[in-house]
Amino acid sequence: MRYAVALALTVLVAGGCGREPAAPGTSEAHAESRALLDGGDFDGVLADLAGESDADALYLMGRAWVGKAGGDARTLSGRLGPEEMQAQDLFQQALAARPDHAQAHLALAELLAPYALLSQEGKDETDAGPVVTVDRVLRAYGGAVQADPADTVAVNGLIDFALKAGRTREAAAGFRELTRRDRENPEVLIRFGDFLAGPGENPQEALGVYAQALIWRPDDQATHAKIADLHIDAALSHLELDQYVAVEAELREARKHVRGKDSSQARRLRDAERALTHASGRR
């Protein structure tokens, strides 16, 4: 199931490439209601939009119900509360009316995300309402990403949620899309490299991503240090297998990125060189 969702999400995210931006949303429609929402007058929003059935109105009413539930500070009770159920229903109605409503997709994902994490942790102890799954939230984030091919907020939300849920395949798909949308941002590349070097378990690709970051920020000492550490790690792995030529090649690359003789990387490099000399001398 996880592989199927990861594959579907990858296709969904990639499907955003080359799409035209979605039709204008709440920035133009129902401006007065939007102002009330921004001001925290949630009952005012609901009164102003009573009887409206277009996608933007439904989305704004859903946002108002989220606000009445406490917004970002709402208390989670295991399953969706009455206000949250109202919000979920309105967001779904908005999407039925306009499937490419990026804001409704994102709002639905953000509404359900904390409940999916609780469910995953086994903390949804009540029996009221259906369980919110991680896959459902990932699909909502994916819908938001696809609906707006220029936005990065939904992509970052997808990445953060996937990482919290331990879904590294989906996080990787999100990072790849984020680097496509914000390709000249070294911070994004460094975040992607850190992911690949850590939970993504792909240090070889991390090296390439860090190298791209250095194109935009060639004097970034922290990124040079990360590259050096990865090469030293690889060298030590080869050393355990008595692959001395590979060890020397990795240490040679590490030297290019070591900065300062007293740095952690410099000390690790010297230790690895001594270990190589000792190991190769025993043969």
pLDDT of 123-168, one tens digit each?
Answer: 655 555 678 999 999 999 999 999 999 999 999 999 999 999 999 9
Please, what's the b/e burial string for 222-249 (b: 16 or more CB within 10 A of its CB; e: otherwise)? ebbbbbbbbbbbbbbebbeeeeeeebee
pLDDT in tens, 28-70: 679 999 999 999 999 999 999 999 999 999 999 999 999 999 9
CA 175 to chain centre: 6
**No. of H helices and E strands in the chain?**
14, 0
pTM: 0.86
Q: Are 90 and 59 in contact (CB under 8 A)?
A: yes
CB atoms within 10 A of CB 110: 19
Residue 13 tokens read as 């995210």
